[in-house]
Chains A and B, each alone.
Chain A
Amino acid sequence: MKSQMFAIIKKDLQGITTNKRMFSTLLAVPLVLSVFIPTVFILVLHFAPDESVNLQKLLEMLPINELEEDLSLSIIGLVLNYILPIFFLIIPIMAATVMSATSFVGEKEKQTLETLLYSPLSLKEIFRSKVLASFLLSMFVSAISFVAMLLVVEAETKLTTGGFILPDMKWALILILVSPAISLIAITLIVRGSAKAQSVEDAQQRAVFLLLPVLLLLVSQFTGVLFVNVWILLALGIVCALLALWLLRKSMDDFQYEVLLK
């Protein structure tokens, strides 16, 4: 990778982080997802009368080996390890969408794209810089959300049950492999869409149409995958990562300046 690409990455990231209003919205939604929702859940669990839900039965139906002594703790463990990971597939993609959708078409609208194209970087290198900038942002937001979620969930668990529950192995796999790979696929496709779009709105609509089915699929299918086993998750992660790299290599093969500037 050329050092000049870092200049573009840095400029793009600065562009988004110095826009305070945009950046706070960007952080707000993930934080709500990763902090607020688990909090509500834990509080409801804590204040709801035990008899109202037959938790024991529910838990027995699920393929979980060791049940904690405290029922609430088991339920929290279930949420932490089987429900919350899904958020971490959605959060990075959401966080990067705005930035990646505007990546090319935003420069086109501000008439800075042509200037960028006069640089000694090839179209592919510019494309990769754009993808990487969005990707770094998404991973940053994702990491912040994870830390915030973990702190909140642990603190609340301690307060409500007096116990303590750890995220399991799958989390590491998701945070390090699956989530980055899926985000990279989404971002590459969105940035590519941005290069073809005629306006920022156009690019954002494309992004939403692209993402909605993907997100629905993730949400509906992923819990199942989590229940199956770690190896399947690993395999899925590797497949996604390879797909992401392939897309990153192949995208823009068919692009020329003329198409981009039109």
Chain B
Amino acid sequence: MNIVTLNSLSKTYPGGKKAVDSLNINLEKGEVFGFLGPNGAGKTTTVKLLNGMLSPTEGSCRIFGIDPTIAPEKLHALVGVVTEHAQMYQNLTGIQNLVFYGSVFGLSTKESEKRGLDLLERLELSDARDKKLSSYSTGMRQRLSLARSLIHRPQILFLDEPTSGLDPESAQNVHTMIRNLAKDHGITVFLCTHQLRYAQEICTRYGLMENGRLIAEGTFHNLRSSVYPGMKIKLKAQGVPSDLPCRKIGNLAYEVEIESEKDIPQIVRKIVEAGGEIYHVSAELPTLEDIYFTLTRKKEGSI
């Protein structure tokens, strides 16, 4: 069953900027959807459209069958949202903020406090729970926002750069948490991020945006095979026979384009049989980053 459906969703801002252009995306339960793209691609705009903060100029979207332009308050009970502009109260402490948002979602003070303390613990903010938000650092605020978005145990999370401004350790921690929420609790996650290395670790599917358009979509495997049909291996060897399709890239270093892993033993055998010596063989799989750059560049080149 599709939990999120975007149907030629488009948004043109009053100034005339077409920020989102005919998006069609479907998300299923428990997916972690990595929504990628350069600055100004339209990611935040999409998140706001999906939560009813903006009204689409064309097309529509449904989340749990709810149209956010019609019943946003019903939708909000089911979703947790973190965006850059959704801040909390400076004059309240960490836990006071969480208790407030908990009660706005209809939880009792006691229950909000219990959940709040638990979330603070998981996000390593326990020491700062009684400090005013005004004394929080950027990364601490960011983590408190994530705690806030989880207080009512939403079924879907919209996270717009939830780890920008976090140190590597906290970012790792937050990503692990997001992955576990999806895996163990079946929460669907819509994650906008620029941190491709982490995205590659936790996302089950990706959408790549550029200039408001979705230029590629699919699992890591889909994307990779569409961009790099084959793979590369790197070799460090002496006495490589010249009939092998190796490209010399340095002293004793070679690069070979192959179709799949199955080709590796054959190449190794050929070198050994020809009396060569192998010091190192590694398969070079393109990372999400490689794919991202290839896709965004390809697009630029074709325009």
Q: Is residue A116 within 8 Å, beta carbon to beta carbon, of the partner chain? A: yes
CB contacts between A and B, total, < 8 Å? 72
Interface size on A, as a range, is 20 to 34
Question: A111 and B87 in contact (CB under 8 A), knowing A120-B77, A258-B55?
Answer: yes
Cα A114 to Cα B53 in complex, Å, equals 8
Q: Which of B54, B73, B77, B85 contacts A111 (CB 8 A)?
A: B85
Chain B residues whose C-beta falls within 8 Å of the C-beta of A125 in the assembled complex: 73
The distance in angstroms between the C-alpha atoms of A87 and B83, with both chains bound, is 46
How far, in angstroms, from A255 to B67 measured CA to CA in the complex?
Answer: 17
Which A residues between 146 and 177 are near B, CB-CB below 8 angstroms?
A: none
CB distance from A74 to the nearest CB of B (A): 51
Tell me the residues in window 174-225 of chain B with beta carbons closer than 8 Å to chain A beta carbons.
Answer: none
The A-contacting residues of B in range 89-129, CB under 8 angstroms, are 89-91, 100-101, 103-106
Contact A110 B74 (CB under 8 A): no
Taking a contact as CB atoms under 8 Å apart, the answer to whether B53 and A117 are in contact is: yes
A88-117 contacts to B (CB < 8 Å): 110-112, 114-117
Within 8 A of B (CB), among A1-38: 2-4, 6-8, 11, 15, 18
- Chain A residues with CB under 8 Å of B51's CB are 118
Is A43 positioned at the interface, with any CB of B under 8 Å from its CB? no
Whether B272 sits at the interface, judged by CB under 8 Å, is no
Residue B81 at the chain A interface, CB threshold 8 Å: yes
3 closest Cβ pairs, A-B complex? A7-B103, A120-B77, A111-B87
Distance to closest chain B CB from A18 (angstroms) = 7
Q: Kindly supply a per-residue 1/0 record for chain B positions 71-90, scoring 1 wherever the CB is within 8 Å of any chain A CB and 0 otherwise.
A: 01110110101010111111
Show the binding face of B for A, using Cβ within 8 Å: 51-55, 72-74, 76-77, 79, 81, 83, 85-91, 100-101, 103-106, 148
Residues B105 and A120 in contact, CB atoms below 8 Å apart:
yes
Are B104 and A257 neighbours in the complex by a CB distance under 8 Å?
no
- The answer on a CB contact under 8 Å between B148 and A115 is yes
Q: Are B89 and A112 in contact (CB under 8 A)?
A: yes
Q: How far is the CA of A258 from the CA of B14 in the complex (A)?
A: 11
Neighbour of B106 across the interface among A3, A122, A257, CB < 8 A: A3
Q: Which of A118, A122, A258 contacts B81 (CB 8 A)?
A: A118
Q: Is B100 within 8 A of A11, CB to CB?
A: yes
Contact with B along A123-140 (1 / 0, CB 8 A): 001000000000000000
* A108–chain B nearest beta-carbon distance, Å: 10
Give the interface centre of A115, A117, A258 by most chain B CB atoms within 10 Å.
Answer: A115
Asked if A54 lies at the interface with its beta carbon under 8 angstroms from chain B, I say no
Say yes or no for A65: interface residue by CB 8 A criterion: no
A169→B158 CA distance, assembly (Å) = 58
